[in-house]
């Protein structure tokens, strides 16, 4: 399982775009990158998943460079309700049942 490294914490003002970068130098060819969001006293929630280039959904965008050794979760115009811990995971469906959650990035949105 590829190990991931993220910043421990980030602060942002409301309305700003937030970019959280995750490094995964040992990512395997079959691995995808997945991000989860966790609010206090709740379980993590799936946000977005991608393999290469760019993926966008109604919540976020995920940018993955050609070498795939890192990825960036982009949250447009954050609000106070985006205050949460964000986890970056790397894995594949090739016989791999478990995912490894690191310590995540605690995002604090300031009014």
Q: How far is the CB of 41 from other proteins (least distance, A)?
A: 7
Closest distance of CB 68 from other proteins, Å: 13
What one-character-per-residue DSSP string does 1-14 give? ----B--SEEEEET
Sole binder of other proteins in the list 49, 72, 74, 83 (CB under 8 A): 49
Spatial contact of 56 and 64, defined as CB atoms under 8 Å apart: no
Give the torsion through C-alpha atoms of 37, 89, 43, 110, to 10 deg. -30
Name the 3-class secondary structure at 80.
Answer: helix
Interface with other proteins includes 42 (CB under 8 A)?
yes
Smaller CB separation from other proteins, 78 or 86: 86
Residues contributing to the site for other proteins (CB under 8 A) = 31-34, 36, 41-46, 49-51, 87, 89, 91-93, 96-104
């Amino acid at each position: 399982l590829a190990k991931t490294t993220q910043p421990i914490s980030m602060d942002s003002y409301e309305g700003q775009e937030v970019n959280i970068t995750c490094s995964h130098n040992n990512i395997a060819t079959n691995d995808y990158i997945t991000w989860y969001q966790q609010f206090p006293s709740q379980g993590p929630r799936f946000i977005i998943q991608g393999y290469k280039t760019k993926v966008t959904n109604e919540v976020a965008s995920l940018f993955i460079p050609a070498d795939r050794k890192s990825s960036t979760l982009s949250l447009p115009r954050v609000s106070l309700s985006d205050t949460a811990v964000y986890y970056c995971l790397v894995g594949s469906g090739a016989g791999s049942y478990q995912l490894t959650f690191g310590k995540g990035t605690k995002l604090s949105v300031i009014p």
